[in-house]
Structure formats: C-alpha cells, structure tokens
Structure 1
Amino acid sequence: MSGNNLNIIFAGTPEFAAQHLSHLVEQGYNIVACYTQPDRPAGRGKKLQPSAVKQVALAHDIPVCQPPSLKTDDALTELNAWNADLMIVVAYGLLLPKAALDAPKLGCINVHGSILPKWRGAAPIQRAVLEGDAETGVTIMQMDIGLDTGDMLLVETCPIESTDTSGSVYEKLQNIGPSALIKAVDAIAENNVTPIKQNDDEATYAHKLTKQEAEINWLEPAAVIERKIRGYQPWPVAYANLSGNVVKIWQAAVSPENSGKNAGDVISADKSGISIQTGDGVISIQSLQPQGKKPMSAGDFVNGRLEWVAPGTSLLTQAD
C-alpha cells in the first residue's frame, strides 16, 4: 500500500510545519484534517492571526481543528471521528496524551530537528549551534508518551558550517525534512520500516531559549561567544552592555591574536572591527545594532559611537 492511500491527520503550527504540510499536499497525500494552535494576536493591531499551517490547510480546503487541548473528552471524540490511519506531528506545540497517540491506526509520527537522542526538547537547532556540533538533521520517530523518546524510523543529516546561524540551519532542515517525511510515510504504509530504539544514556536535552541567556559574558571563551552570536539568531539575538547601552551583536569573528589584556577590555575599535579580550582569546565584532537603529557595520558604529567602545574601556566593569 502506498502512503497516498493513507488517511492522514497533520498537526503543526509554524512555517517549518507548513512546509511539510505543503509538500504532502503537493505529492498527493490524503490529509483528512489539520490540527493547529488557536489563532494568536499578532502585529501592531494585535489582530488574531491564523498559523502558517492553518493558512496552507484553508488554501487546500482541508478541515482545520484548533482545540486548546487534546486531553478533553470532546477533543478526543473529534480526533477519533476522523478515522485516521496515521497522524503526523511537526512543531504542533500541544502535548498529545496517550489516548490521542493511540487514536490513529498506525499511531503518530513526529519530525524532530535533531539527530536523536541528542537534543530532545524545545530548541534542538539552537542548542546544536551553541554547542558547536559539526552536524545535525531531522529524525522521523514514532511518538510515545515521553518527550522525543520514541523509536526512530528514519534519520537525515546535514552539516553545520562555521558560518551557520540557527536561522540558516533551520532553513536546511526545512529543506530536508519534507522529503524525509515522505520516505517514512511510504515505508510505514508498505510495512517496510524497522524502528530503532533510542539510547537514553546518550540523550541530551534542548531547553527552551530565554532572552536572558543571550547576554554576552566576556569571561567566556571567544569561540563560545561567537557561537552564541550565531546560535541566538534570529531570536533572541545576542546582546551586550556597552557603556550603559544595550546593543545587539549580529556578527563576529574569533581573532587569532592574544592581547594579554583583561577579559572585557576593548583592544581596538575601527572599521575592521571592535576587538575585545575574552576569557580565552579575542573576539572581533563586525556587525551590531544599537536600540532603535538598524544593524550596522563596526565601522559605522565606531564613527558615531566611539565613546561606547573606546580602546582601553573595560566592558566587564561596566556590566558589573
């Protein structure tokens, strides 16, 4: 039996999920219903906005369900009424109780943005960049009641380059995920899949990001700070306190020089970059953004705000 013959429920919310839904629809898979988060207020007018998945579903006349929870009797009754063979979950944002996982005949599968069991949890892409991993990927897994603990059905990998941000890695996974999902769905339909249990001893957890953790600590090594600058893009964006002013940092490079200065000391500030001694090595900031302004080059920043980063200034003392 081909995957095209399955009755499929799709559950997801953001653009990443919408890309997977679009691919399924384009390939002729039978999506009987889409589940997505309730509409949320967005924009200056705070008007209710449909999710990216809802927009795709409506464009293809797919019924949309938006229960605030799948734990109620009414929600479970509705879920069972679709008589689905399979449920595909991609960044849905709601927990699925066991009764929901058991509703489709073939259960529920999930597209997760890491090579499991590494980086289970909410922010796998960002944590991989922050940690300096050489590669990541997507894992298609059979869902169980644990958090990203289900048996692995298929894994596709891709490299993380030294210039990648979390945003660029997200785009890579958005490109490889849909085709990996199609392979897995077809294999399930043909009963040609061998589930592989995860090794819990090798598991790591990708905690949800916070704005606070994006603050740069000049006591950390330059390589760690540089990864933070890439890892916290596009959100929440790494930031630092420069002479009492909060500035977002968009691009930097680790310099091979060793200044002999104290951590947090500004070594130089010119059009080539703003060089700062860290706990281990020197980092050169190339692009940054004062509050209320657009991102700018280090040269443009220094031309207008040299007093914020004058050579010899101790940023560590300011932070304290």
Structure 2
Amino acid sequence: MKIVFMGTPDFSVPILEGILEENWEVAGVVTQPDRPKGRKKRLTPPPVKQAANAHGLPVLQPETLKKEENVQAVLDLQPDVIVTAAFGQLLPESLLFTPPYKAVNVHASLLPKYRGGAPIHQAVIDGEEKSGVTIMYMEKEMDAGDILARREVEITETDTAGTLHDKLSAAGRSLLLETLPRLADHELTPEPQNPEEATFAPNIKRGREKINWNQPGHVIYNQVRGMNPWPGAYTMYKGKSIKIWETKKVHVPSSRETVPGTILSLEEDGILTAAAGDTAVNITSLQPSGKKAMKAADFLRGTHELTPGERFNGDEENV
C-alpha cells in the first residue's frame, strides 16, 4: 500500500517516522511552505520537511490546495492512501476520495469531542482527565469522518499542552501502525460519529491568552498549563505584559474579601494572587516583557516592582 503522508509540525514527525520504520512505501510527503521564524525571521522548513529530507523523500509544499495543479501534483504520486496528521489545510474531495483506500487522519482527541485545530490545548484548558487519538476517514466537514480506531490517554493534574502533545503524538504513532495493516486487509468496520456529541476546539486566538482573574483559581491554573509551551497565558501589570508559565493552586479562606487579581503576598517560590472563590493562584514561573522565562523566585530576587495589595490587570476592566 503506497502512502502519501501529509503533516507539518513536531506532532506529525514521530508518526511519519513510524510509517517508515515499519517499511510502508511512502511515495512522498506534503507539508506547509517554509516560514520565517525567530527574531531574525529566518526562513525555516517545517519539522516534517526536515524529517522527510533526512530520509530522502520527495516533498511538496503547496501554499494552497485550492489550485488544481497543486492537487494534481499530489495525485501524480499515485497514493493508495493519504495519511494526514496535523497538516494544516483542508483537503479537496479529489484527494479525499480518489485513492483506493481514501484519506485517513490522525486526530489528537477522542472524536467526536474536540474537533478542530487546538484539541490538545482545549482538553487541558477544560480540565479534562483524559484525551486520546482517533484514526478516521476524512470528509469535507472538518474531523467529521467515520472512526476507524481510538485510544484513550490520561491527562494528569500536572500535564501541560506540551506534555500532552508528546503523549498523543506517541499514541497516534502506535495506533496508526496497528491500524494500517487492518486497513490494507479490509478488516476495519468504520463507526459513524454522532454529530450531537460533537464539541469544537478552534485555534487559540490572542484574546484567549489573557488571564481573567475574575475566574476561579482552578480555571486559571488550567488555562496556564493549557497555554504552555505555546502561546503562553499572560497578564498585565502597570501597563506591561507578563507571561505566566507555571502556577500552583492554593486554598485560601472563603471569607477573604479580596478583589481578584490582587497580589496577596510574595512567597519564597512565587507570587500568591487572588482569584474568584477560595482558590488562589501562586505564580511560580513567568516571563516579563522583553526577557527570558524564569522562576518567580529568581524574578523576585531581582526586582522590587511587585507590591502586595496591587493588582494584575488593575489598570483595566477584568473582562
């Protein structure tokens, strides 16, 4: 069974590597174009291209699959099946249905829950205790195809989007490698998704990164770990942005009447900050604007800017 693999970020690389290690024939790899990265905006190939080049595989990098010539270039590779994993573009019908075994996707959630581009972030932000990966046929509607296989993955209390990303990438690799032989031998019975159970995880936009201190402490805790290592949750202090990378939940007396966002105290390991309800947030790792990320303890030793009684986001509405 000849495979065309379509993927772009780090999540996709172990999956491609697994396909190659199991000696499946990969006719070519399709990934996103090189993009400028870093402060110097140096043109950088996506991780999947780097992996494909290391194995001497043909690489296509269409800016869009809405152009017929780009679609035809993929079909000219004559795939028996297209395998996608975090590719980043919608596929036209000709790619979905022309290959004999169609197109299958490795999606980082237990579908039909968390369809969309940010299922890993959203599962952590929502405080879920489990996630998983789904192998499914692709359809015109995003992440709505029939399910071929699923596998659960535990989310621990200390998982971040980064650690869950790595767990799900590994799970996606192993599940796909179990599924491909059964797909080739026509041993799978596709399971339709129930659209009434579908939930969505859209890409993270800038407005969702800002911490709203009027939320309960456990919600803020989950937001911070769900934004780590990208894009990073942030708050404002005296007009300057501070990224918050790690926090702890701390119980405080429910009778305490303190405006959310107020700095309660400067602790040895962090900055204890009031939130809604009886759970405060101790900020233990942060990144001031224009500086590197650091432990809050190191930050506090080098600055006297923070004052108990003052507020994060205190110069604007907490909405």
- With structure 1 as the length reference, what TM-score do the two structures score? 0.93
Secondary structure of residue in 1 paired with 2:75: helix
2:314 pairs with 304, 313, 317, which one? 317
In structure 1, what is the equivalent of residue 71 of structure 2?
Answer: 76
Q: Render the CA deviation track for 1:57-106: whole Å, top value 9, x for unaligned.
A: 22222211222222333223333322221110111112111111112111
Check conservation: 2:112, 2:197, Cα contact below 8 A.
yes
In structure 1, what is the equivalent of residue 182 of structure 2?
Answer: 187
In structure 2, what is the equivalent of residue 150 of structure 1?
Answer: 145
Shift of 1:195: 0.7
- Partners of 1:277 and 1:44 lie apart in 2 by 35
Matches of residues 275-290 of structure 1 in structure 2 within 5 Å? 275-281=272-278, 282-290=280-288
Secondary structure of residue in 2 paired with 1:228: helix
- Partners of 2:277 and 2:42 lie apart in 1 by 48
Which range moves more in the overlay, 271-280 or 290-299?
Answer: 290-299
Which range moves more in the overlay, 173-182 or 38-47?
Answer: 38-47
Q: Render the CA deviation track for 1:239-298: whole Å, top value 9, x for unaligned.
A: 111233211111111111123322222211131421111112311111222122232333
Matches of residues 55-204 of structure 1 in structure 2 within 5 Å? 55-204=50-199
Secondary structure of residue in 1 paired with 2:28: strand
In structure 1, what is the equivalent of residue 291 of structure 2?
Answer: 293
- Partners of 1:305 and 1:207 lie apart in 2 by 38
Q: Tell me, which stretches of 5 or more residues in structure 1 are unaligned?
A: 1-5
Shift of 1:316: 4.8
Question: 4+ residue stretches of structure 1 with deviation over 4 A?
Answer: none
Which one-letter code corresponds to 1:287 in the other structure?
A: S
Number of aligned residue pairs? 314
In structure 1, what is the equivalent of residue 225 of structure 2?
Answer: 230
Which range moves more in the overlay, 28-37 or 78-87?
Answer: 78-87
Check conservation: 1:12, 1:36, Cα contact below 8 A.
yes
- With structure 2 as the length reference, what TM-score do the two structures score? 0.93
Question: Structure 1 residues 149, 219: closer, same or farther in 2, change over 3 A?
Answer: same
In structure 1, what is the equivalent of residue 303 of structure 2?
Answer: 305
Shift of 1:52: 1.6
Structure 1 vs Structure 2: percent identity of aligned residues?
38
Alignment RMSD, CA only? 1.6
Question: Structure 1 residues 39, 264: closer, same or farther in 2, change over 3 A?
Answer: closer
Shift of 1:44: 4.4
